[in-house]
A and B are shown apart, each in its own frame.
Chain A
Amino acid sequence: MLDLVFGAGLTLPIPSPPVGMTYPEDVITQEAAIRTSSGLTLRVTPLVEEGALVRQGAPVACLRDTPDVQFVAPMPGRVARIALQPGRKLSEIVLFRETGGDVLTHDVADATTEQGLRRLMQTAGFWPLLRRRPFGRMPADAEHPAAIIVMATDTRPFAPDPRHALKDREAAFARGLHTLTMLTDGPVLVCQQPGPSLFDRGLGDGRVRAVDCGPRHPQGSAGIRIHDLAPATIETPIWDLHAEDVAALGDLLETGILPMTRLVRVAGSALREGRLIHTQSGADLRELTRRIVTPGAHVLTSGSPLDGHEANWLAPRHRQVTVLPRQNRGKSPHWLVSALTRSGLPTPVIPTAALTQAFGAALPAAPFVRALSSGDDEMAIKLGVLSLLEEDLGLADYVLGGEAQLAELLRGMLDRIRTEFAA
């Protein structure tokens, strides 16, 4: 209660109809696609032909530079279309579902050593679920992170509760956490809402620790937590992954089959009712929302209203689908008004309490925003920009009315820093 009065962060007044059901239903869509997270480019080699039958969990493509890292089919099906952009960059690989198809079982005997474990995670299609900071890409195949952050909380608006997703999967979650300690010499930190413990204390020689965080966004945002607990730098990368994926890793190690479904919340003001479902990664958003949208034009967004993007397929790490009414573009503004709005970009940001709260009071917000908009890389690195990604600034962008375009500025700065340090 005290946290709700004095805690950092903001509560957003975004409308959405309530979820009709109490238990999540299983929905496997007829079509699904393997795609990259928004803003990332991956150079891949397809391992199957168009029209081929694939089992669930069978490799469909692999990274061009590290063939061990494979993308697998999220359901048994037939390869419908392989769309690559010039330079063999993955656009999307669309699959049609085949009922009664087979499931590929991996050999887990080698997973007791670190080498074997990495190989299993890469060939079973688990590797793309990992994300490293700085820069937010998939980690290199042999990288040792300084710490691993497991997000067992999600404070974004309409995010499904990870505790709900972990119900009755405690053993798999603990197994996954224990396994993660093999990949790092540092701690494995589980960020959660205050409540009953999700795992036994002392797991992994005490290297797995629980960290409580507040109820309001962006307190449960991975970047803000990493900034607070274990800042990422060029030399000390930090991995983050979702708690449900850790449980999936636990299941993979037990059965040799990587569970492909995840808990997804469908929400938004263009719906007649909300939905809570278990669906596969890359699910078809049109099918998930088909009979519950209100009449009229709407936008299908993979991700939360703050950091989502318009898409046809559920993005690899997303657990939310947001459906918003499509805004009419309206009349184009007067030439003087549009000239004035475009002239002084990026628009000045006035330091207010709202801005501080939009960063969860975790860092000096106004100097950080000034460093971002003036392109001062050194100051931004000192203030912790390497721990952050676009999704962590979604709330700040929302609060500032979308004029400051902090997410784009951050991506530009991260790309610039990456090329500078790669050179």
Chain B
Amino acid sequence: MTRGLWNRETVALMLLAAYGPLALFWLLYGGAEAFVRLGLALLVLAVWHLIFMLARAQPPSFAAVATALAVAILAPEGLGVVRLALGISFGAVMGELVFGGWGRNVVHPATVALSFLGFGFPGFAWPVFDDPVVWAAIPAALIGVATGAMPAAVLVAAVLVGAAGTGTGVLPDSVWPAAGLVLVLLVADPVTSAATTLGRWLNGALYAGLIILFATGWSGAAPVQIAVAAALLTSLATPLLDEIALALWIAQRRRRHGRN
């Protein structure tokens, strides 16, 4: 039988390919500590995927590697093994696995894990990034869009609104690196971002708008904290954005054809 290849695991592998340059530069500049964090995140996720595979017959997915990478890059520093493992477990189980695995989740498991770590352990410092790591987000986004695994409209809308914010002076430059990384790693995920064209534009714009809101109104917050909070609220609002886009699309067709 002749068949195409865009099943769930291919999309997960394409996402991983897109994250390749980002992971490479982050590991190069992070050194041994980065390897340990990534290894720990992978181990915890592997254990949970194994448990859900044996208990619920849910096939494990390569998307867990992308989740591990996002958590390892963005998690607060100096948490220690137990807290990090606890946060990742909460994110993976409550954010993804209880919904039936990758492809059926509503929020990105890494977003849940990071929010849990940020709100649960507020004393730990959020990471700052070397310039090459931040720039590597651009090839990551380009590969993601070229393979069709990342929604281009989300990225473009977020960058446009962000640029408008910077142009009018409401968005400080210091937020851009963290916001850009979170945009590529968490917000532009194909499953939890909006699924309609208009919804995707709204999704990206909402993310950038929340970044601007938090950057101006949330004093004392670290850039990564701002970006993760914005990503969490955006993914919670995404079904609403899709619903709006679908209602408009249906109304437009009804106006054009008199039926649908």
The answer on a CB contact under 8 Å between A327 and B1 is yes
Q: Which listed residue (B2, B11, B56) contacts A305, Cβ 8 A?
A: B2
Interface flags for A350-380 (1: CB within 8 Å of B; 0: not) read: 1111110000000010110010000000000
The answer on a CB contact under 8 Å between B53 and A340 is yes
The answer on a CB contact under 8 Å between A344 and B100 is yes
The answer on a CB contact under 8 Å between A343 and B11 is no
Closest to B149 in A: A352
Chain B min CB distance to A404 (Å): 8
Q: Which residues of A contact B104 (CB under 8 A)?
A: 348
The answer to whether B134 has its CB under 8 Å from any CB of chain A is no
Q: How far is the CA of A231 from the CA of B196 in the complex (A)?
A: 20
The answer on a CB contact under 8 Å between B6 and A352 is yes
The answer to whether B175 has its CB under 8 Å from any CB of chain A is no
The answer on a CB contact under 8 Å between B8 and A350 is yes
Main secondary structure of the interface of B (DSSP, over half): loop
State the total of A-B contacts with C-beta under 8 angstroms: 100
The answer to whether A116 has its CB under 8 Å from any CB of chain B is no
The answer on a CB contact under 8 Å between A340 and B6 is no
The answer on a CB contact under 8 Å between A367 and B196 is yes
The answer on a CB contact under 8 Å between A344 and B191 is no
Chain A min CB distance to B154 (Å): 11
The answer on a CB contact under 8 Å between B148 and A398 is no
Q: Which listed residue (A324, A340, A347, A349) contacts B57, Cβ 8 A?
A: A340
Assuming A343-B58, A401-B6, A402-B3, is B257 touching A367 (CB within 8 A)?
Answer: no
Q: How far is the CA of A226 from the CA of B59 in the complex (A)?
A: 38
Q: Which listed residue (B2, B102, B151, B195) contacts A398, Cβ 8 A?
A: B2
Closest to B56 in A: A343
Assuming A364-B196, A364-B246, is B6 touching A348 (CB within 8 A)?
Answer: no
The 4 lowest CB-CB distance pairs between A and B, nearest first, are A348-B103, A353-B148, A366-B195, A343-B57
> Could you list which residues of chain A lie within 8 angstroms of chain B, going by C-beta atoms?
14, 230-231, 233, 235-236, 305, 324, 327, 339-341, 343-344, 347-355, 364, 366-367, 370, 381-384, 398-403
> Could you list which residues of chain B lie within 8 angstroms of chain A, going by C-beta atoms?
1-8, 10-11, 53, 56-59, 100-104, 148-149, 151-152, 190-191, 195-197, 242, 245-246, 249-250, 253, 257, 259-260
